[in-house]
Structure 1
Amino acid sequence: MDKMPYSTLPPHIRKLRAGSASGIGGLPPRLSNFRRSNSSGSASSSSGHRPFAIERDYRPSKWSDYFTEKQDIKLDNGDQFRIYLHEDESARKNNLPLLLLLHGGGFSSLTWACFVKSISELCHVRALAIDLRGHGSTKVANENVLNLENFIHDIDRVLLKLFSDDNIPEIILMGHSMGGAIAVHYSERCQQETIAPRIVGLIVIDVVEGTAKDALSHMQQVLRSRPSGFKSIEFAIEWYVRSGQVKNVEAAKISMPGQIKSVDNGTCATDLELTSNQDQCSSISHQISNVPNQFGLSTVSESENVEESNKADSNFTLPLKPKTVQPYVWRINLSETEKYWSEWFNDLSKIFLSSKGGAKMLILAGVDRLDGPMTVGQMQGKFQMQILPKVGHTIQEDDPDSVAHVVAAYLVRHRFSVSSTDFDYPFPSC
């Protein structure tokens, strides 16, 4: 078939073809033609056009942008627990129920930062986030002994240190992953006479007994596929985003420092003052090779450049050269806690369904997370379930606004709080 004469093409196609041929207008130039902007802000391309800069700021954020108070709770035995608080004047004056936030394994209480900021804009709320033992900025004896008994005892001690026996507020337990399992067990096993009757709500994020136990057999391989260290805090934050561990850059900038520590002194990166050299590492370039490592993941060279992508690369990981000491490593070695994993999730569905700890809600990243007992319980209306799309396991970091809307609606519906603005109430998932 003969080609269609140029003059018979539709006007918009003629314009597009002409623009493409002349290099003016028409189709946009390829991204590969661009070079990264230099320090003066100038940039160039093979076509002579000024490109858009593709850079991100990976400097860590401050806790004070999300919480109203930070405390280190020192107990009589020398243990010290880091907590972050948020409460507005109305919530404090009216003694509203306390949203007690428990993070997942390997995280810190700063995983809740973006969620707390979002929900505080929707309703009056009191929120308390705790760095559990072995995590974040908390310092305790035997910090690697992560059995349920210790977790429950720790929560009791922190609450009794913060509040007098006659002033303990009503409590809504809210936990993610490991923290969700702890919240469920705490609602059943708390023996403190001044605390147990005050538990009025239970919110669990993306943890169900059946699917959690199924995943345990693969957990060691997942942990081994992570880099063992990082050359800077900013590089750790960038890895957190580009590896696909989290979809939200803002959440990564506040959460990731709580997951790593300095090799020199063991201090959690959250508590380190950044040097001028670190501040210069706001955007780091990498070359992703096609050579997989022993876990099937591609490696990244820190010394080469490539255009950055706005999408997370699930194959992104760090090269660890032999005999190279990275200045930052993971705050906790999760691989060594394997002996406690089964205990965290044993009888989780049964306890959650039979819990008398008030109004219950389960927030999931997908309906496929449900196991048999929880599916039956949901059909019987024993708890509210909410499915959030396009998120990963760390739901409160990937989409803090949606989680905030769901929880704010829960709080207002059950009269645990009062809305401070009009917002749409999410319809519960079926």
Structure 2
Amino acid sequence: MSALQRSFAKAQLQNLPPPPAVFDEAEEDAASEEHPPLSKNGSSSSASSTGTITASADKNLFERPTVRQHPRSQYEPLPWQNFFEQEIFLDGDDIRSHTYFTPPATAEAPLFCFHHGAGASGLSFALLTSALKAALPEAGFLSPDCRGHGQTTTATKDLDLSLETLATDLAFVVNATSAKSGWSKLPPVVLLGHSLGGAVVTELAHRKLLGNSVLGYGVLDVVEGSAMDALQSMEQYLSTRPRSFPSISRGIEWHVRSRTLRNSNSARVSVPPLLTQKADNDDVPFTWRTDLSATKPFWEKWFTGLSTKFLSVPGAGKLLILAGTDRLDKELMIGQMQGKYQLQVFPESGHFVHEDQPEKTAMVVADFFRRNDRSTLVLPPKVDDLIRQGKLKPVHQAK
């Protein structure tokens, strides 16, 4: 066969459709254990390579490649100790707040205070904390479970998740941590909230519950307009997700396979606190710790007026990180054109931008802190000081 004929035959073979896949029960079980290949940022690739027709070593062009088997350990939980130095409980009037904490190395170092979204926990920020720690080694990190979530408990069974209450709770966590740590004053605080948490940190900054300690605040993938629209389909979403899982690992696997979380490493640490087992028995399934349906009375009030409050807080830097520009509403578009806040878009991530893209998010947040760090401001010397130092003559002597 000539070189021209071989080239023509190769082109024709490449255009042939792949043979239909036939699986027996054993193969289906193996496939259920398989996880899509991960990109460098930990996100699942949108195109799986397991069904690709490739040439084998012995030139059998139509031989299907061997399916790679991924160990179950890929879905095993990761301990919180890998990301934070401490976990502490803080007792208030009607709440016992649980929070993950890494103290600042110095009194001048910043404290990043996080607030997770509805149904999540403080470990939602685990990977972001590690990435920020690498960028800002002296910084501190505080990531609480809000009431009704994680290990935080309240004195009453009536769930109060109003925006005012959650903002007050977050201020309590910061001040109680300061008292427990023996700080003479609060360090520079950077607030960062995801989804519902974005509304909470904005409310806290708007009401100045931490005084002038707030250096800046950031909101992750939530704006008023798109949030109000998304609430219309919230109940439908809740009805489609599994009610229980036979194990924590299966819960992690579901979050990754459904692409609720696109970073498997983040899922391994952030998903376990979302699930609980009513009895210590292997036959008892794991169910959702937080009943999101019960929070419906608060949904609309969480986000009403969010854009106005976000833009109106004076004296603090403002950061908005989104997964798509289509989420911007009119008020935020105008604010962006006027330079009232910093905007960053990660179109390759899902709703959990800080979990899907922790390194990129950390880079943006660290730069945001440096840009707003008041300790780096060099103010001109006062005239009186220059006169006392003999560097400037008084006006009457200058004549």
TM-score (norm 2): 0.76
Work out which of the residue numbers 146, 151, 163 in structure 2 matches 1:132: 146
Whether 1:238 and 2:253 are equivalent positions in the alignment is yes
Which residue in 1 is equivalent to 2:125? Answer: 112
Task: Give CA-to-partner distance per residue, 1:87-118, whole Å, 9 cap, x none.
Answer: 4xxx4224312111000000001010111111
**Quick check: 2:215–2:373 contact (8 Å CA) kept in 1?**
no
Which residue in 2 is equivalent to 1:213? Answer: 228
Shift of 1:412: 2.1
**Quick check: 2:121–2:274 contact (8 Å CA) kept in 1?**
yes
Considering only aligned residues, what root-mean-square deviation do their CA atoms show, in Å?
Answer: 3.1
After the TM superposition, list the runs of 4 or more consecutive aligned residues in structure 1 that deviate by more than 4 angstroms. 10-18, 27-37, 47-50
Distance 1:255 1:130 in 2: 13
What one-letter code is carried by the residue in structure 2 that aligns with 1:363? I
What one-letter code is carried by the residue in structure 2 that aligns with 1:365? A
Distance 2:63 2:2 in 1: 30
**Quick check: 1:210–1:371 contact (8 Å CA) kept in 2?**
yes
**Quick check: 2:202–2:309 contact (8 Å CA) kept in 1?**
yes
**Quick check: 2:322–2:345 contact (8 Å CA) kept in 1?**
yes
Task: Give CA-to-partner distance per residue, 1:265-287, whole Å, 9 cap, x none.
Answer: 7xxxxxxxxx9x7xxxxxxxxxx
Which residue in 2 is equivalent to 1:403? Answer: 361
Distance 1:13 1:139 in 2: 71
What one-letter code is carried by the residue in structure 2 that aligns with 1:244? R
Whose helix fraction is larger, Structure 1's or Structure 2's?
2
Mapping for residues 269-280 of structure 1, pairs under 5 Å = none
Which residue in 2 is equivalent to 1:301? Answer: none
Distance 1:72 1:29 in 2: 59
Mapping for residues 30-429 of structure 1, pairs under 5 Å = 35=27, 51-56=66-71, 57-75=74-92, 77=93, 79-87=95-103, 91-124=104-137, 125-142=139-156, 144-164=159-179, 166-191=184-209, 195-264=210-279, 327-356=285-314, 358-415=316-373
Distance 2:263 2:311 in 1: 32
**Quick check: 2:150–2:289 contact (8 Å CA) kept in 1?**
yes
- Percent identical pairs in the alignment equals 34
Count of aligned positions: 335
Task: Give CA-to-partner distance per residue, 1:165-214, whole Å, 9 cap, x none.
Answer: 832222111100000000111111244xxx22211101000110011111
Distance 1:200 1:405 in 2: 17
Gaps of 5+ in 1: 1-5, 21-26, 38-46, 266-274, 278-324, 419-430
Distance 1:253 1:108 in 2: 13
**Quick check: 1:246–1:392 contact (8 Å CA) kept in 2?**
yes
Secondary structure, in 3 states, of the residue corresponding to 2:368?
helix
**Quick check: 1:74–1:81 contact (8 Å CA) kept in 2?**
yes
**Quick check: 1:202–1:357 contact (8 Å CA) kept in 2?**
no
Secondary structure, in 3 states, of the residue corresponding to 1:55?
coil
What one-letter code is carried by the residue in structure 1 that aligns with 2:99? I
Distance 2:7 2:276 in 1: 57
Secondary structure, in 3 states, of the residue corresponding to 1:174?
strand
Distance 2:298 2:141 in 1: 28
Which residue in 2 is equivalent to 1:9? Answer: 4
Shift of 1:129: 0.4
Shift of 1:416: 6.8
**Quick check: 2:112–2:141 contact (8 Å CA) kept in 1?**
yes
Which residue in 2 is equivalent to 1:309? Answer: none
Larger radius of gyration: 2
Secondary structure, in 3 states, of the residue corresponding to 2:176?
helix
Shift of 1:141: 2.4
Distance 2:18 2:308 in 1: 57
Distance 1:170 1:60 in 2: 33
What one-letter code is carried by the residue in structure 2 that aligns with 1:383? Y
Gaps of 5+ in 2: 31-61, 377-399
Distance 1:110 1:10 in 2: 60
Distance 1:357 1:211 in 2: 27
**Quick check: 2:121–2:146 contact (8 Å CA) kept in 1?**
yes
Task: Give CA-to-partner distance per residue, 1:398-419, whole Å, 9 cap, x none.
Answer: 111111111111122223799x
Distance 2:345 2:67 in 1: 36
What one-letter code is carried by the residue in structure 2 that aligns with 1:104? G
